[in-house]
Amino acid sequence: MESQRKNYGKALVELGKRRKDIVVLDADLSGSTRTVEFKTAYPERFFNCGIAEQNMMGTAAGLAVGGMTVFASTFAVFATGRAYDQVRQSIAYPDLNVKIVASHAGITVGGDGASHQTMEDIALMNAIPNMTVIVPADGPETYRAVLALADHHGPAYVRMGRSDVPIITSNEDEFKIGKASILRDGNDVALVGIGQMVAPCLLAADALKAKGINARVINLSTIKPLDVGTLEKAARDCGCVVTAEEHNIVSGVGTLVAAALAERCPTPMERVAMQDVFGQSGESDELMREYGLSEKEVIAAAIKVTERKK
Partner 1 sequence: MNSINEGRVKELEQRAASLRRHVIKMIFAAGSGHPGGSLSAADIMTALFFEVMDHSPERKDSQDRDHFILSKGHAAPIYYAALAESGYFPVEELVTLRKLHSRLQGHPSRAKTPGVEMSTGSLGQGLSVANGLALALRLQKLDRKVYCLCGDGEMAEGQIWEAAMFASHNHLDNVIAIVDRNGLQIDGRTEDVMALEPLADKWKAFGWNVLFMDGNDMWQVLETLNDARQHKGDPTVIVAKTVKGKGVSFMENNVGFHGKSPNQKEYEQAMRELGGSA
Closest distance of CB 96 from partner 1, Å? 8
Enumerate residues 61-90 that contact partner 1 by CB under 8 A.
Answer: 61-68, 70, 85-86, 88-90
Closest distance of CB 157 from partner 1, Å? 18
Per the CB < 8 A criterion, the answer to whether 102 and 121 are in contact is yes
Give me the amino acid identity at 101.
V
Q: Which position among 8, 38, 46, 47 is part of the footprint of partner 1 (CB under 8 A)?
A: 47
Closest distance of CB 41 from partner 1, Å? 16
Q: Which position among 2, 10, 52, 280 is part of the footprint of partner 1 (CB under 8 A)?
A: 52
Nearer to partner 1, 154 or 166 (CB): 154
Per the CB < 8 A criterion, the answer to whether 274 and 117 are in contact is no
Question: How many residues can be counted in the chain?
Answer: 310
Q: Among 213, 210, 211, which Cα is nearest to 188's?
A: 213
C-alpha span between 55 and 28 (Å, rounded): 13
DSSP labels for 268-298? -EEEEEE-S----SS-HHHHHHHTT-SHHHH
Q: Which position among 44, 174, 212, 310 is part of the footprint of partner 1 (CB under 8 A)?
A: 44
Is residue 232 part of the annotated active site? The answer reads no
Q: Is the dihedral of CA 6, 11, 16, 20 positive or negative?
A: negative
Binding flag, residue 95, partner 1 (CB under 8 A): yes
- The bridge status of strand 189-193 relative to strand 241-248 is parallel
Candidate segments 43-51, 191-199, 214-222, 259-267, binder of partner 1 by CB under 8 A = 43-51
Cβ count within 10 A of residue 96 = 21
Tell me which of 2, 14, 37, 53 is the catalytic residue. Answer: 53
Binding flag, residue 127, partner 1 (CB under 8 A): no
Residues in binding contact with partner 1, number by CB under 8 A: 30
Q: What are the residues binding partner 1 (CB under 8 A)?
A: 23, 44-45, 47, 49-50, 52, 54-55, 57-68, 70, 85-86, 88-90, 93-95
